[in-house]
A and B are shown apart, each in its own frame.
Chain A
Amino acid sequence: MPRCRIDIEASPTFQRLLREYQRRYPRTRADLVDAFSRIEQDPEHAAHATPLIGFGRRVWKYRSKHSDLSRGARGGYRIIAVYDGGNAILWPILLYAKVDRDDVPADVVKRAVEEIREALRAASSHDAQNGG
């Protein structure tokens, strides 16, 4: 039984990045299946989970292997996600390969978190309007 649910559809940016990587590297999906399978079991420890300082253990970074480039977790993909421990839900918001960038600028994270907030707000109001 997974310890948390992972919503990979809520963030348009994550979806876009995922599609881009999948187009470039055919084994991206398999690599992420492997990573998410572990993360859903233990979101605070699996896949080299690291909480980003300053966000009260709500924004996490994970590492995943990059099979197409024969790279392990160290030089592989990075997944940035927002985690709601109370409701046990994880929203991946960013995905990048270590070969493409060393780190992610503050304004990119800022925009991604704002975007997921808007997306979830829209989904909530849509549910409310439909009696969900």
Chain B
Amino acid sequence: MSSASTLEQLEARAHRTLAEASLAREILRHPRSPRAVERAWRLVTSLRTLLAFAEPERLEPLGPNGLWFVTELFQLTHNKLRNLVDLAAKQGLAKQPWFRAWTEGLEALGDALEGLYLSRDPECRAIVNEAIKELDSSRPSQVEIPDWRSSLAKMPD
């Protein structure tokens, strides 16, 4: 799949998620309405689809501009979902099953954003990858690896 195609699909999925988030606001006014609950779950499905699409293998070939664009899309989605989660929590809906799924989606978006912030910085990306290459060539397998349990145990309290 080309980078342009990846970006188009991701953009379409992000916009779909943003639209679903708007519809899901109905749950704030009518928490018991079956239609509102269905919309709350549709947002979850949409979020999961978006997140599944944003795998490192698909995003890594994108250049800095592409990654910048993806980051902005994710940030928009994250902001909108954060707002929705906060409002739902204020209305005492935090124990609803869909609420838990929303917060999991929010967390996953936050994780994806964290990686994106790092990788869309071309200088950081280049320096880290270069450092890793050098690390490989320094033959770390020949260096003795201390047992991590002993290392932790000998730390002062």
Contact = CB atoms under 8 A, between A and B. Distances in A.
Interface of A: 5-9, 18-19, 22, 26, 29, 32-33, 36, 40, 50-59, 61, 74, 82, 84, 86-87, 89, 102-107, 109-110, 113-114, 116-117, 120-121, 123-124, 127, 132
A8 B148 contact: yes
B140 interface: yes
Contact of B138 (A8, A106, A114, A124): A124
- Most central of A19, A32, A107 by chain B CB within 10 Å: A107
Contacts of A124: 138-140, 142-143
B114 A32 contact: no
A120 B143 contact: yes
B145 interface: yes
Interface stretch (B20-28, B39-47, B121-129): B121-129
Contact of B152 (A32, A61, A117, A121): A32
Secondary structure at chain A's binding surface: helix, strand, loop or mixed?
mixed
Given A54-B67, A113-B132, 16 more contacts: A6-B148, A8-B152, A32-B152, A36-B152, A51-B56, A52-B119, A56-B132, A84-B140, A106-B117, A113-B127, A114-B131, A117-B131, A117-B134, A121-B138, A124-B138, A127-B143
A26 B157 contact: yes
Contacts of B119: 52-55
B128 A113 contact: yes
B101 interface: no
Interface stretch (B1-9, B85-93, B105-113): B105-113
- Most central of B103, B121, B156 by chain A CB within 10 Å: B121
B34 interface: no
A114 B143 contact: no
Contacts of B116: 53
A89 B141 contact: yes
B148 A89 contact: no
Contacts of B56: 51-54, 57
11 contacts: A8-B148, A19-B156, A22-B155, A22-B157, A55-B118, A56-B60, A56-B129, A84-B141, A106-B117, A113-B132, A123-B143
B138 A89 contact: no
A75 to B, nearest CB: 9
Interface string B35-72: 00000000000000000000010011000000100000
3 A-B pairs with the lowest CB-CB distances in the bound complex, closest first: A54-B119, A106-B124, A87-B141
A114 B131 CA distance: 6
Contacts of A55: 118-119, 125, 128-129, 132
Nearest to B143: A123
